[in-house]
Amino acid sequence: MKAVILAGGHGKRLRPLTQDRPNALVEVGGKPIVEWHIRWLSSDGVKEFVVCAGYMREKFFSVIGSGSKLGVKVYYSVEDEPLGTGGALKNAEGLLMNESGFLTVNGDIITSLNPTALAEQGSVGVISLVPLKSPYGVVELSDNGLVKGFLEKPQLDYWINAGVYYFKPEIFHYLPEKGDLEKTTFPELAKKNMLKAVKFRDVFWRAIDTQKDVEEVEKELLQQTQATKADISYAGQ
């Protein structure tokens, strides 16, 4: 199974980090975001990737190249002008039309969710969902107005699009030449009852939209690494 990485964005909100590279090549924890994608998906058996590149696309050729140094094969679908997420995927049809199904991931996220769970749903389109995390701390109050406690950026009872999808080749009938999946394709599939969703709890998921996000995700990844090392150390005692 192939995986598509939608990496054509300019990453304007990530400037100055994207002045000399596309957003998917911004480094987080010493590795470009696209490398996080490849390492994550290849651990689940994906060995062929299609990178949809536009802005500063030549940077991908020098950083990722054929994918051989990461043990995978990388193909490129190049857009000469911004096509949006739906148009970018449509532009890659020739590389995907013979697949029974393929994964697609937005180029500005890092996650640990299990992508194989999407392929098991048997629908033309399947999207992943994660709980919405409050950007602010929340104050808990009693009925009489007393402060009971504080919750630091809790998960809320709403679900958001996690930017990881599974599609069957029929999806190309519903893709625009130019436009976004979220605004064109997904609403149409939903009306036709052709779009499913899988909820993921207790997984690592972060969108990399700003320089602050980069700094926060690096801290979270470091904490995870330290916790894993501690568990291994404890198990060896």
For residue 211, the model assigns a pLDDT of 86
221 pLDDT higher than 90: no
Instruction: Answer with the residue of higher pLDDT: 135 or 217.
Output: 217
Q: Residues 6 or more apart from 94 whose CB is under 8 A from it?
A: none
Structure tokens, 27:
């480094």
For residue 170, the model assigns a pLDDT of 95
For residue 8, the model assigns a pLDDT of 82
Q: What does the alpha-carbon distance between residue 125 and residue 132 come to, in Å, rounded to a whole number?
A: 22
Interval 125-142 mean pLDDT: 89
For residue 226, the model assigns a pLDDT of 55
Interval 202-208 mean pLDDT: 90
- Give the catalytic positions in this structure: 153
Q: Facing residues of 89 across strands? A: none
Q: Residues 6 or more apart from 130 whose CB is under 8 A from it?
A: 111, 113, 159, 160, 162, 199, 200, 201, 203, 205
CA distances from 197 to 16, 108, 161, 178, 206 (A): 35, 20, 9, 24, 18
Q: What is the DSSP letter of 208?
A: -
% the chain with pLDDT above 90:
57
For residue 54, the model assigns a pLDDT of 86
State the pTM of this model.
0.87
Using 50, 70 and 90 to split pLDDT, how confident is the model at 96? very high
Q: What does the alpha-carbon distance between residue 76 and residue 57 come to, in Å, rounded to a whole number?
A: 9
Instruction: Answer with the residue of higher pLDDT: 95 or 9.
Output: 95
Using 50, 70 and 90 to split pLDDT, how confident is the model at 64? very high
For residue 87, the model assigns a pLDDT of 95
* Mean pLDDT taken over the chain: 88
Interval 66-81 mean pLDDT: 94
For residue 13, the model assigns a pLDDT of 78
- How many other C-beta atoms lie within 10 A of the C-beta of residue 91? 20
Asked if the bond preceding 16 is cis, omega within 30° of 0, the reply is: yes
Interval 89-103 mean pLDDT: 94
CATH hierarchy code of domain 2-129+159-232 = 3.90.550.10
For residue 19, the model assigns a pLDDT of 81
82 pLDDT higher than 80: yes
% the chain with pLDDT above 70:
94
230 pLDDT higher than 60: no
Using 50, 70 and 90 to split pLDDT, how confident is the model at 20? confident
Furthest CA-CA distance within the chain: 63
For residue 223, the model assigns a pLDDT of 79
Interval 196-201 mean pLDDT: 95
